[in-house]
Amino acid sequence: MSASEVTLTPPVNVDEVDAEIVVVAGCALGFVAPGQPPHVLHVDPDTETARQDISQLDQDKVAALLRTAKSLIFERPAGAGGDEDAGQARAAEETKAVEARAPTQAAVGDYADWRFCSASSSKLRIFKPLTSERRDASKPAMCGLAFWLRFRSPQQWKDCADVFPEALVEAEAFTAAAEALPRRGPDAEGLQVVDLPAGELHLHACVLHLRGDSVVSQPCPVASEKEVGRLLFNGEAYEVLSPKSPGQSHRQELGGEEFGTAINLYRLRAMESAERRTSDEGLHLAQSDTLWLSGRLAELEDATPGSDWEPLAAALRQLLQGLHGPFALAFWSPRRRAVFVARDRLGRRSLVAARSAHGGCIASAPGGSVDKWKELPVTGIFVFDFAKEPSVRHVPWEEPVAFEQSWWWASAAVAPATPVTTFGQLLAAAVALRVSHVAQLAGAKDAPHLGLLFSGGLDSTVLAALAAEAVPGCTIELLNVAFDSSAPDRLTALCSYEDLVRQYGAERFRLVLCDVTQQEVYEEELAICRLLGPKATHLDFNIAAALWFAARGRGLVCPAGVLETGWWPSAKATQAMEAVQLEPLKPIERGGPAAPAERSPCVRCVLPAKPGCPHGACKLCCRKLRQAAGEPSDWCSVHKAKSSEPGPDVSAAGKEAEEEAPVTTCMSARRCAGEEALVVQAACRVLLIGTGADELLGGYSRHRTARVKRGAEGTRDEMLKDLQRLWTRNLGRDDRIIADHGREARHPFLDEHLLRFVGSLPIDLLAYGPGG
């Protein structure tokens, strides 16, 4: 099949003749009957369309394509113009081919559902937007992407970059990964198939609209002078950082004006209109960063002639190294027959890789067998080269991430005069940068577009306060999850909420209390496990379950009045002080570590089985299997029941001690919200999350233990381990979990400026150091 592409010269002439005929660049399309796709009626002479010979298209062929494709470029069979029977046979064969690529597409509806997209593209394209039946407007969308190559015959990649795992996924895994994307959205969804000599390249994306006046559909065109590539982008581009001056040391950089300039810049962004120009690169917070990046990629394409991928990869590396913000992207360059893929150097947006016997796939979330996928490394750009034999190349960043460099927490580091003040200013600036434009979205005044995962701890409370200052007048949702009515996080959340209301007013916050039963955890166990990624452990599941149910945002709203009357004052007085007491350090055990037990997968899910379990299962599945078999106890002898579960009879002395113990106060969502409260669904589209605070400042108890046992250098080593595994253990997993409910996670503690400042401090100021 040959493609007839119509290159248009802006501004594109679109003439609506009447309710049935629209002329686009001289091509008259007629909507001849309700419920039927448009036909090509005629082509005006001396127009761009006529000069490029679109007039010979078979009208029935166009109609067949329009019935099944989301987007298309007009096509016709090679050698069209033969006898009528042969033409009909070719049209039938091509219609079947299109239907095979898009079997789920419904027939077109009323022609009013169709619209023309030519202003943002250099090609004449027609597409049908998703209808309201496909998209719930009340559910926000998170960006997601996937691309995969399906070989025509069994063939393997020449994997020079060790991207793919050894194990092969089943053939349906790639499709399953793509089908999971709509759970991350969409405000728009797009699919494009590119024919290659070795097979078909599928480009699929879902879009969350948070910036710009209108939704930018993806795959987004990248229109250079000679061709049109395609961009899949998931992330937030805040600014382009300037590279350091040649020969400038990091200490000189910190001692200069960079941090003062950053603080002033962010203050301007928070206080003034989002239309303000934020950098010399033309990147505006109020405009689409996808379109900005598309324009920059087009410039790079034109500036790097030839068909080799190396020059473009080097130019793209220079651009992405200075990009401030989380991102995951894939860019298809037709001229170079290559896809360029990258994540930001912290890995805040998920990308995972897998391969089958007939191809390979990169996606935001895995499909099929999760343990056969692999996190895409954050070490540089990966080039999937299809020019000859399919191969994967690696173009590393020119310098590693900040905490991998020698100056980070160096022993010779000198503390600045006011480190706490500077840290507070940078954190406030980081929060303002991530929330100021969210408050200006359409409808933000009517429904909260900003929220926090709110445990009531120090990090989430500080973020809530800074967000309230950054977006005055806007309501912020605080999502608190509890699996038990007396959970510590519920107590701390209520205490911190009380402080926030006292400082900023009850109208500024909406505390949504999300109670989760054990039955709900069992019901959603498989859905959560599918998002964990290849390194799934019990700890991962526990953390992911809390994030998943909190991000779901289904709960009861706690009224501020409960903090002033009723049971809360007495409950806080009896339990709050006890709940925040720090446990003393345990004696340090000398001797070598115990050998780790051999792990095998659970017989029912992707979590590891407990060694010795007679069912070969994890704790959750062990209980399910025993209940199904009618066993008298919920768990086997290896899986110990929680202390809250019924146990054997206690002695009389034990009963007496139990009676004298203080009664735990019930702080369920129902008690806090009242018996008449209705279940609500959180409306926020953006969630601030405190990830990075403990890793960056030394907030874990193991950091305190390392200081006692091994001093400052041991503390530094322990904290560096946590930072180095953030992308493999935390950030990719958290992105997949939170985005599963159509919300976007943002991490102020991982702001690039804030990271570099904390890394310049002496380690003695962190991790329970002097005054800590």
CATH number of residue 186's parent domain: 3.60.20.10
Question: What pLDDT does 288 receive?
Answer: 80
Alpha-carbon distances of 237 from 211, 279, 291, 441, rounded to whole Å: 10, 12, 11, 17
Q: Is 288 left (phi over 0), alpha (psi -120 to 50) or beta?
A: beta
Question: What pLDDT does 17 receive?
Answer: 60
Closest CA to 211 of 304, 151, 278, 150: 278
Question: Per-residue pLDDT for 167 more than 80?
Answer: yes
Q: Mean pLDDT over residues 296-307, rounded?
A: 92
Sorted by sequence, the CB contacts under 8 Å of residue 160 that are 6+ apart come out as: 391, 392, 393, 394
**Helix, strand or coil, per DSSP, at residue 62:** helix
Distance, in Å, from the CA atom of 504 to the CA atom of 287, rounded to the nearest integer, reads 30
Query: Do 327 and 227 belong together in one domain?
Result: yes
Percent of the chain scoring above 90 in pLDDT: 34
User: Which two structure tokens, joined as six digits, stand for 141?
Assistant: 């969308």
For residue 618, tell me if it sits in a domain: no
Query: Do 211 and 333 belong together in one domain?
Result: yes
Percent of the chain scoring above 70 in pLDDT: 65
**Helix, strand or coil, per DSSP, at residue 261:** helix
What is the pairing mode between strands 450-453 and 686-688? Answer: parallel
List residues bridging with 513 in a β-sheet: 480, 556
Query: Do 438 and 544 belong together in one domain?
Result: yes
List residues bridging with 148 in a β-sheet: 202, 361
Query: Do 306 and 342 belong together in one domain?
Result: yes
List residues bridging with 681 in a β-sheet: 554
Question: Per-residue pLDDT for 48 more than 70?
Answer: no
Query: Do 56 and 165 belong together in one domain?
Result: no
Question: Each residue of 372-409: pLDDT tens digit?
Answer: 999 999 999 999 998 888 899 999 999 999 999 999 99
Query: Do 395 and 422 belong together in one domain?
Result: no
Question: What pLDDT does 446 receive?
Answer: 59
Domain extent for 543: 418-579+664-765
Look-up of token digits 């446990």: 583
Closest CA to 385 of 336, 313, 315: 336
Query: If residue 41 lies in a helix (H) or strand (E), which one and from where to where?
Result: strand 39-43
For residue 756, tell me if it sits in a domain: yes
Q: What does pLDDT average to over the chain?
A: 74
Look-up of token digits 């691309």: 147
Question: What pLDDT does 99 receive?
Answer: 35
Query: Do 303 and 215 belong together in one domain?
Result: yes
Query: Do 200 and 339 belong together in one domain?
Result: yes
Question: Per-residue pLDDT for 772 more than 80?
Answer: no
**Helix, strand or coil, per DSSP, at residue 240:** strand
Tell me which of 127, 160, 181 is where a domain ends: 127
Question: Per-residue pLDDT for 718 more than 90?
Answer: yes
Tell me which of 337, 370, 399 is where a domain ends: 399
Contact 704, 767 (CB under 8 A): yes
pLDDT interval class at 613 (50, 70, 90): confident
**What total of structural domains would you count in the chain?**
3
Of 664 and 327, more confident: 327
Question: Per-residue pLDDT for 61 more than 70?
Answer: no
Question: Per-residue pLDDT for 608 more than 80?
Answer: no
HSE toward the beta carbon, residue 285, CA cutoff 13 A: 26
Sorted by sequence, the CB contacts under 8 Å of residue 119 that are 6+ apart come out as: 10, 11, 12
Sorted by sequence, the CB contacts under 8 Å of residue 588 that are 6+ apart come out as: 705, 708, 709
Question: What pLDDT does 60 receive?
Answer: 53
Give the chain's radius of gyration (CA, Å): 29
Query: Do 214 and 326 belong together in one domain?
Result: yes
Of 217 and 559, more confident: 559
Of 431 and 614, more confident: 431
Question: Per-residue pLDDT for 517 more than 90?
Answer: yes
Question: Each residue of 181-190: pLDDT tens digit?
Answer: 887 865 678 8
Sorted by sequence, the CB contacts under 8 Å of residue 368 that are 6+ apart come out as: 169, 170, 172, 173, 176, 177, 354
Q: Mean pLDDT over residues 250-267, rounded?
A: 41
Tell me which of 127, 155, 179 is where a domain ends: 127
For residue 44, tell me if it sits in a domain: yes
Look-up of token digits 């079997």: 103
Question: What pLDDT does 79 receive?
Answer: 35
Of 584 and 452, more confident: 452
Question: What pLDDT does 52 receive?
Answer: 52
Distance, in Å, from the CA atom of 127 to the CA atom of 437, rounded to the nearest integer, reads 30
Distance, in Å, from the CA atom of 466 to the CA atom of 425, rounded to the nearest integer, reads 10
Q: Mean pLDDT over residues 82-108, rounded?
A: 37
For residue 85, tell me if it sits in a domain: yes
Question: Per-residue pLDDT for 172 more than 80?
Answer: yes
Distance, in Å, from the CA atom of 679 to the CA atom of 180, rounded to the nearest integer, reads 27
Of 28 and 526, more confident: 526
Question: What pLDDT does 18 receive?
Answer: 58
**Helix, strand or coil, per DSSP, at residue 446:** coil
pLDDT interval class at 50 (50, 70, 90): low
Q: Which region among 4-13, 144-153, 425-434 has the lowest average model confidence (pLDDT)? A: 4-13
pLDDT interval class at 25 (50, 70, 90): low
pLDDT interval class at 371 (50, 70, 90): confident
pLDDT interval class at 105 (50, 70, 90): very low
Question: What pLDDT does 207 receive?
Answer: 78
Closest CA to 328 of 297, 364, 293, 296: 364
Q: Mean pLDDT over residues 242-265, rounded?
A: 43
Of 556 and 442, more confident: 556
For residue 601, tell me if it sits in a domain: no
Of 82 and 612, more confident: 612
Look-up of token digits 């990271």: 755
For the chain, give the number of residues.
Answer: 772
List residues bridging with 201 in a β-sheet: 149, 194
Distance, in Å, from the CA atom of 637 to the CA atom of 647, rounded to the nearest integer, reads 13
Query: Do 107 and 203 belong together in one domain?
Result: no
Q: Which region among 23-37, 304-318, 328-342, 426-440 has the lowest average model confidence (pLDDT)? A: 23-37
Q: Which region among 42-56, 83-97, 202-216, 562-576 has the lowest average model confidence (pLDDT)? A: 83-97
Closest CA to 718 of 734, 697, 736: 697
Q: CATH code at 518?
A: 3.40.50.620
Question: Per-residue pLDDT for 560 more than 60?
Answer: yes
Look-up of token digits 């530094």: 716
Query: Do 60 and 112 belong together in one domain?
Result: yes
Q: Mean pLDDT over residues 440-465, rounded?
A: 82
Q: Mean pLDDT over residues 573-594, rounded?
A: 49
Question: What pLDDT does 224 receive?
Answer: 86
Distance, in Å, from the CA atom of 491 to the CA atom of 511, rounded to the nearest integer, reads 13
Query: Do 330 and 458 belong together in one domain?
Result: no
Note the pTM of the prediction, 2 decimals: 0.73
Question: Per-residue pLDDT for 761 more than 80?
Answer: yes
Question: What pLDDT does 318 receive?
Answer: 94
Question: Per-residue pLDDT for 265 more than 80?
Answer: no
For residue 470, tell me if it sits in a domain: yes
Question: Per-residue pLDDT for 523 more than 70?
Answer: yes
Highest mean pLDDT among 105-119, 238-252, 439-453, 489-503: 489-503
Question: Per-residue pLDDT for 753 more than 50?
Answer: yes
HSE toward the beta carbon, residue 677, CA cutoff 13 A: 21
For residue 274, tell me if it sits in a domain: no
Sorted by sequence, the CB contacts under 8 Å of residue 640 that are 6+ apart come out as: none
Question: Per-residue pLDDT for 143 more than 80?
Answer: no
Question: What pLDDT does 619 receive?
Answer: 77
pLDDT interval class at 257 (50, 70, 90): very low
Q: Mean pLDDT over residues 619-635, rounded?
A: 72
**Helix, strand or coil, per DSSP, at residue 411:** coil
Q: Is the dihedral of CA 131, 135, 137, 143 positive or negative?
A: negative
Question: What pLDDT does 46 receive?
Answer: 64
For residue 708, tell me if it sits in a domain: yes
